[in-house]
């Protein structure tokens, strides 16, 4: 088991603890937490550095659960595309964390820094996901290591896209229908950190329903747009208000 997978397992475990049980996905409401300086516009966000996405899918059958590594990688790409498309639509300029830009850093050096930053996120995630309201009080930080990322200089924030989901086999779905049990669902998180200081300035949680794999734009994309709007990210607030006219 590689280090990257161990780090993400820590994150995934924290998320499952937050929803208390595998049947609780559908009982959760989309939500966000942020600092007032973001919602007030005192900390305007015009550019973002996209960290490599992470996702973990579990298949639940009648006899137990199993991993879905290929499907997880594909879903991570879908989540990344959804978040990037929403940010671009809101006028946010995007950079990739793995791009050395003009820093002269090697790929290994850049990936080493990304690993360090991810380690820090994994370390603070259990408490942050348990007490997300503390984000408003500047309680969580990734440390100034974020400044070592080549994209940090050209970005206002770092954006982490992560997802944990479970899918049911036909047999398990039928059993759930008749006798109860686990439901199909997921949680998608977008964590936003100051690209210069590492301070966590925002966290979004979206809980898509059982169509999260087949109808990603409807189940995830639209809902992310609302959350970005409430946070006052880019032009998202204006776009959200327009939907209610």
Q: Which residues pair with 32 in a beta bridge?
A: 204
Q: What is the pLDDT along the chain (245 residues), one digit of tens a residue?
A: 455 545 555 555 555 444 443 445 555 788 999 999 999 989 999 999 999 999 999 888 878 778 888 999 999 999 999 999 999 998 999 999 999 987 888 989 999 999 999 999 999 999 998 999 999 999 999 999 999 999 999 999 999 999 999 888 778 777 766 676 667 789 999 999 999 999 999 999 999 888 899 889 999 999 999 899 989 887 666 655 555 44
- Confidence (pTM): 0.86
The CA-CA-CA angle for residues 81, 84, 89, to 5°, reads: 125
Which residue, 192, 232, 229, 226, is CA-closest to 206? 226
Predicted pLDDT at 64: 75
**Can you tell me the distance from the alpha carbon of 97 to that of 48, in angstroms, rounded to the nearest whole number?**
10
**Can you tell me the distance from the alpha carbon of 139 to that of 172, in angstroms, rounded to the nearest whole number?**
41
Q: Which residues pair with 47 in a beta bridge?
A: 93
In angstroms, the Cα distances linking 87 to 48, 58, 91, 180, 195 are: 9, 28, 7, 39, 16
Predicted pLDDT at 233: 85
**Can you tell me the distance from the alpha carbon of 47 to that of 131, in angstroms, rounded to the nearest whole number?**
27
Q: CATH: 3.40.50, 3.30.70, 1.20.58, 3.30.420. Which one for 3-17+31-57+73-169+185-243? A: 3.40.50
């Amino acid at each position: 088991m590689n280090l990257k997978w161990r780090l993400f397992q820590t994150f995934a475990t924290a998320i499952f603890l937050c929803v208390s049980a595998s049947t609780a996905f559908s009982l959760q409401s989309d939500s966000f937490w942020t600092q007032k300086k973001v919602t007030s516009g005192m900390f305007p966000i015009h550019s973002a550095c996209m960290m490599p996405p992470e996702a973990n899918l579990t298949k639940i059958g009648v006899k137990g659960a199993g991993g879905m590594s290929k499907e997880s990688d594909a879903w991570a790409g879908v989540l990344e595309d959804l978040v990037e498309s929403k940010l671009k639509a809101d006028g946010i300029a995007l950079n990739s964390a793995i791009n050395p830009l003009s820093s002269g850093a090697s790929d290994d050096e850049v990936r080493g820094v990304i690993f360090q930053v991810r380690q820090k996120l994994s370390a603070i995630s259990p408490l942050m996901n348990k007490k997300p309201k503390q984000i408003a009080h500047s309680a969580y930080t990734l440390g100034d290591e974020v400044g070592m990322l080549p994209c940090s200089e050209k970005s206002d924030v770092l954006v982490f896209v992560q997802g944990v989901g479970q899918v049911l086999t036909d047999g398990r779905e039928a059993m759930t229908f008749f006798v109860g049990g686990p439901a199909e669902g997921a949680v998608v998180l977008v964590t936003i950190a100051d690209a210069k200081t590492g301070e966590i300035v925002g966290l979004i949680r979206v809980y898509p329903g059982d169509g999260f794999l087949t109808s990603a734009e409807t189940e995830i994309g639209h809902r992310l747009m609302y959350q970005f709007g409430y946070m006052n990210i880019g032009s998202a607030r204006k776009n959200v208000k327009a939907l209610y006219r």
